[in-house]
């Protein structure tokens, strides 16, 4: 639907799923006492129902064509290949990022529950920044896909540059707000002094790196919409590969070194005792440093491809036209 220019009904379906989930959660957990299973069942029912709402609109021909069950039985090998060509790189990207986050989490566990809680709070607060950026990235994907399909490369470029301007302006404003007033947002989730202190140090460092994540989101969306899905996947994986060793050398290695030195000096008998005393915990900022650097590297790589690469020629629909740089 977004590809056809309708971004409203996907939003309506999301709202329907949300409201159904709340009602069914209350019914299954509070009334029927189904516990965690009830939450899971409610989620599945809400998602299926919202999906059916969107499918019915296609089956009624609201977008100039109708989906039918008989038509779904027919398979077009070329179209299937195209779908896999566009979808597999993003799937690999998401899988690699998930694996990277597992490794990062194992690093984070060294710094105790305080850091884990602080990082969790940051993720909730910076959602006010990241979700709009992701929304713009999705809009750019649709916009560029439509214009590349229509053979209007120049308009696709102009739309992408306009999105970058919006994202940079929005990110900088939100960065200032989070830098100076982030603690007020964080207090909505915790009042633990240690968590607030660690969280604010991390948030103030990351506040002005969100602009790079926003650029990455919009330009990756544009390139993906043009059909060059493998490039955003590659730059994302490279960014993860940059982040992991940086996190290890900037945070985990100094932490382990401080622990070993304290034990060698006879200050503590075990690693657990040293950790409990807070030895090495001040190196947690290395995890935030690695995150910010990887954001910058990802934005830089995808921007270089957008400026100098041949993304304009990767479209599903081919046109006889001259591609201007």
Q: In the structure encoding, which two tokens stand for residue 68, read together?
A: 């039918």
- pLDDT value at residue 23: 96
pTM, two decimal places: 0.82
CA–CA separation, 57 and 116 (whole Å):
43
- pLDDT value at residue 37: 95
Q: In the structure encoding, which two tokens stand for residue 107, read together?
A: 């690093």
Cα separations (Å) of 161 from 39, 140, 267, 303? 43, 10, 57, 11
Give 203's contacts (C-beta < 8 A, 6+ positions apart): 122, 125, 126, 178, 179, 182, 186
Provide the terminal-to-terminal Cα distance of the chain, rounded to the nearest Å.
Answer: 30
Q: Where are the alpha helices (DSSP H) in the chain?
A: 8-25, 35-59, 69-72, 77-108, 112-125, 127-149, 153-186, 193-206, 210-225, 230-247, 253-264, 271-276, 285-308
Q: Could you state, in order of their start, the residue ranges of all structural domains in the chain?
A: 1-74, 82-313
- pLDDT value at residue 322: 44
Give 224's contacts (C-beta < 8 A, 6+ positions apart): 86, 90, 141, 232
- pLDDT value at residue 73: 82
- pLDDT value at residue 324: 45
- What residues of the chain score a pLDDT lower than 70? 317-325
Local structure of residue 110 (DSSP, 8 states): G
If DSSP states are collapsed to H, E and C, what string results for 219-288? HHHHHHHCCCCHHHHHHHHHHHHHHHHHHHHHHHHHHHHHHHHHHHCCCCCCHHHHHHCCCCHHHHHHHH
Say if residues 233 and 201 touch (Cβ distance below 8 Å). no
- pLDDT value at residue 248: 96
């Amino acid at each position: 639907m977004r590809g056809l220019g309708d971004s409203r009904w996907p939003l309506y379906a999301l709202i329907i799923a949300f409201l159904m989930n709340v009602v069914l959660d209350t019914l299954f957990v509070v009334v029927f006492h189904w516990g965690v299973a009830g939450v899971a069942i409610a989620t599945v029912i809400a998602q299926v129902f919202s999906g059916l709402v969107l499918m019915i609109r296609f089956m009624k021909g609201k977008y100039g064509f109708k989906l039918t069950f008989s038509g779904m039985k027919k398979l077009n090998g070329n179209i299937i290949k195209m779908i896999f060509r566009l979808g597999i790189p993003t799937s690999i990207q998401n899988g690699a990022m998930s694996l990277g986050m597992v490794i990062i989490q194992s690093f984070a566990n060294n710094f105790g529950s305080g850091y884990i809680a602080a990082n969790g709070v940051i993720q909730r607060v910076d959602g006010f920044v990241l979700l709009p950026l992701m929304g713009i990235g999705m809009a750019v994907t649709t916009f560029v896909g439509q214009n590349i399909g229509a053979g209007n490369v120049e308009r696709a470029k102009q739309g992408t540059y306009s999105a970058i301007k919006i994202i940079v302006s929005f990110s900088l404003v939100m960065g200032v707000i989070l830098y100076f007033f982030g603690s007020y947002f964080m207090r909505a989730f915790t009042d633990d002094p240690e968590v607030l202190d660690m969280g604010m140090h991390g948030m103030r460092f990351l506040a002005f790196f969100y602009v790079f994540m926003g650029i990455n989101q919009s330009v990756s969306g544009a390139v993906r919409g043009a059909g060059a899905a493998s490039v955003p996947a590659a730059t994302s994986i490279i960014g993860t590969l940059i982040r992991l060793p940086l996190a290890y050398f900037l945070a985990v290695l100094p932490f382990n070194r401080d622990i070993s030195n304290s034990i060698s000096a006879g200050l503590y008998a075990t690693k657990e005792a040293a950790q409990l005393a807070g030895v090495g915990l001040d190196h947690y900022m290395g995890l935030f440093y690695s995150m910010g650097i990887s954001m910058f590297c990802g934005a830089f790589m995808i921007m270089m491809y957008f400026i100098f690469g041949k993304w304009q020629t990767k479209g599903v629909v081919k046109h006889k036209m001259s591609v201007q740089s």
